């Protein structure tokens, strides 16, 4: 893979205080190259190494805890993961899933207002927006 990507991943893991394990590096490379949220199953299918579900789950959880990765949304009972670098601690960029073809898009250029921090006794600490409809290709 790209030497710059390897250096970037190494730096991310170092700054997060995590060891540079083969599993973490491979999963981060898959997420970098995906450029959109993907499921645990998709991570497994894109890997050159065979991962069992528990290994992928534990690796993702360690990356989530370190703030490198986050769960973007859940679709059909499957969590979808992406790098957290385009989101803030309070708000993630919106995601759009086409109801016809199933493709998911990151809408990083779309700004959504943050919900009121306290609403009817609820304390909102993080906001994620998942939109659904037809993508440009399916709208035609």
Task: Show the 3-state SS of 98-125.
Answer: ECCCCCEEECCCCCCCCCCCEECCEECC
Topology given in CATH for the domain delimited by 3-83: Arc Repressor Mutant, subunit A (1.10.10)
Distance CA 48, CA 64 (A): 22
Helix (H, G, I), strand (E, B) or coil at 4: helix
The answer to whether 134 and 103 are in contact (CB under 8 A) is no
Assess whether pLDDT exceeds 50 at residue 25.
Answer: yes
Average pLDDT over residues 18-38: 93
Average pLDDT over residues 21-40: 93
pTM of the model: 0.77
Q: Identify the weakest region by mean pLDDT among 12-16, 92-96, 133-137.
A: 92-96
Residues of the chain with CATH 1.10.10.10: 3-83
Task: Work out whether strand 69-75 and strand 118-119 pair parallel, antiparallel, or are unpaired.
Answer: unpaired
pLDDT in tens, 53-102: 899 999 999 999 999 998 888 878 888 999 987 776 777 788 899 999 98
Distance CA 96, CA 15 (A): 31
């Amino acid at each position: 893979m790209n030497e710059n990507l390897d250096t970037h991943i190494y730096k991310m893991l170092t700054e997060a205080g995590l060891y540079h394990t083969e599993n973490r590096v491979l999963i981060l490379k898959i997420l970098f190259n995906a450029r959109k949220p993907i499921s645990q199953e998709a991570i497994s299918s894109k890997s050159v190494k065979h991962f069992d579900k528990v290994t992928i789950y534990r690796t993702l959880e360690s990356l989530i805890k370190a703030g490198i990765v986050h769960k973007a949304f859940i679709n059909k009972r499957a969590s979808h993961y992406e790098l957290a670098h385009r989101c803030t601690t309070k708000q993630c960029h919106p995601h759009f899933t086409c109801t016809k073809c199933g493709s998911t898009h990151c809408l990083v250029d779309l700004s959504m207002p943050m919900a009121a921090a306290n609403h009817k006794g609820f304390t909102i600490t993080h906001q994620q927006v998942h939109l659904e409809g037809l993508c440009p290709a399916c709208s035609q």
